[in-house]
């Protein structure tokens, strides 16, 4: 028997409850806070435009939200009507399931299972494993020179559509590694040069706000 109902536009994903509030992830929009103190009349009281949120769990005064584009985010929900994003952790797959216990987050993403120290993010201690949003737009590649694969890493200060492409010395497009939105944070994509000749290449990354190029040297 349904006792209460509140319409949320878009596709909802997961829900967690703390006190008189339910926190609902919505793939299309973000994180909603719903006052459920009156079960017959739930009412939306807060919203944060999260990056394709999937899973959610609550620990103390924080919501831990697994993201569909990789990684998970931490929100302070001490004030449900004014949620604050405290930080972001990058992972290699989408955060399809997340649990939290004693200063650690346990994340099942699309490809791996990871355990993350979140003590700094929730104010337990200072720990370098916490990764806040980078303040600048950065592109780097390692190893370089390489044979046959290299990791192309980039930092985004804000959510952006990213085109990451590899060109040869003559400026011809060799391969497109990505053309999609990425959340703010640090990311890494691999380029496999097995099918390409030794020589100089260029990795170029561009967003609506920035563009930069990194020289690559493939040695076989």
Architecture of the domain whose range is 12-117: 7 Propeller (2.130)
d(CA 91, CA 109): 8
pLDDT tens column, 170-205: 889 999 999 998 887 778 899 999 999 999 999 999
Q: How confident is the model at residue 92 (pLDDT cuts 50, 70, 90)?
A: low
Superfamily of the domain at 138-218: Macroglobulin (MG2) domain (2.60.40.1930)
SS3 content of the chain, % helix, strand, coil (to 5): 0, 55, 45
Q: Residue 167: its pLDDT value, please?
A: 94
The residue with greater pLDDT, 99 or 92, is 99
pLDDT tens column, 121-145: 676 543 434 444 444 567 888 888 9
Domain with CATH 2.130.10.10 in the chain: 12-117
State both tokens at 37: 């103190």
């Amino acid at each position: 028997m349904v006792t209460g109902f509140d319409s949320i536009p878009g596709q909802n994903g997961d829900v967690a409850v703390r006190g008189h509030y339910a926190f609902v992830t919505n793939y299309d929009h973000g994180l909603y806070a719903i006052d459920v103190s009156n079960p017959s009349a739930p009412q939306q009281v807060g919203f944060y435009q999260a990056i394709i949120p999937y899973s959610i769990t609550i620990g103390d005064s924080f919501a831990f939200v697994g993201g569909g584009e990789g990684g998970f985010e931490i929100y302070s929900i001490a004030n449900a009507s004014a949620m604050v994003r405290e930080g972001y952790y990058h992972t290699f797959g989408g955060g399809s399931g997340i649990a939290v216990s004693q200063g650690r987050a346990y994340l099942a993403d699309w490809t791996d299972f990871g355990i993350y120290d979140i003590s700094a993010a929730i104010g337990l201690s200072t720990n370098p494993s916490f990764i806040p949003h980078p303040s600048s737009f950065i592109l780097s590649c390692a190893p370089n020179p390489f044979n046959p694969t290299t990791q192309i890493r980039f930092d985004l200060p804000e959510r952006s559509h990213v085109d990451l492409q590899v060109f040869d010395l003559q400026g011809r497009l060799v391969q497109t590694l990505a053309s999609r939105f990425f959340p703010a944070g640090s990311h890494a994509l691999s380029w496999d040069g097995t099918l390409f000749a030794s020589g100089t290449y260029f990795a170029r990354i561009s967003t609506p706000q920035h563009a930069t190029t990194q020289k690559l040297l493939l040695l076989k």
